[in-house]
Amino acid sequence: MLLERWQGVVSPGELALYKLNDWGELVINTSAAKLPAAMRWAVAAGGAAVPLAMLLGARQRRRLAAVDVYMASYCAILLVWPYQDARFWIPVFPLLLGYAGLAAAQYTRFAAVRWTAVAYLSAFGLLGLVALAYSTWISLAHDRFPERFAGGVYRASYHAAWAPGPTPAGGGARVDPQIVRLVQRYSQAPR
């Protein structure tokens, strides 16, 4: 009965695609939503490398250890989790890297593998730095924050929430005076 209920929520094919997308977002170090629609296939393709690397890396282990049991248990839970969210894989990301490292170690005698690894890790780090710079740019935008965050989608909501309004006696919501001072301070910030 539980299986019938679960299958009504998401099909096994959709579930597999969710996991490939999760792993792909970890591999390319960005969200699929940030990529152009024509390139989103690369996310799932990159995600296919994760189970392959995990299997090859696990095969390199001489005997089963507690970390292997933990990783298998964690994967078993998330593999049936009927949602897509790469953040759930972050706690085991170092273990995924360890398995990938074990898998790659057996091929390091080939120069192409070494150069590919250097290029990939460089691009991975560069994307991380770009994301950090972009987040900082948004966070330090002062009064332009509502326009910059999420492409301005929530601009009206931020203005409604942060704008000073009438007091409860006037019929509107009361806004904390400290928030009003903060908004006024950043509203006067140089552009």
Residue that wins the pLDDT comparison between 168 and 184: 184
**pLDDT confidence bin for 62, thresholds 50/70/90:** confident
Phi, psi for residue 99 in degrees, rounded to 5: -65, -40
Is residue 86 exposed (0-12), middle (13-18) or buried (19+ Cβ within 10 Å)?
buried
Instruction: Say what percent of the chain tops pLDDT 70.
Output: 82
Instruction: State the pLDDT at residue 167.
Output: 47
**pLDDT confidence bin for 1, thresholds 50/70/90:** very low
Instruction: State the pLDDT at residue 150.
Output: 75
Instruction: State the pLDDT at residue 77.
Output: 94
Residue 21 burial (CB count, 10 A)? 20
Of the CA atoms within 13 Å of residue 28, those in its CB half-sphere come to 21
Residues recorded for the chain: 191
Of 6-20, 92-106, 138-152, the range with the highest mean pLDDT is 92-106
Instruction: State the pLDDT at residue 10.
Output: 80
Contacts of 172 (CB under 8 A, 6+ apart): 165, 166
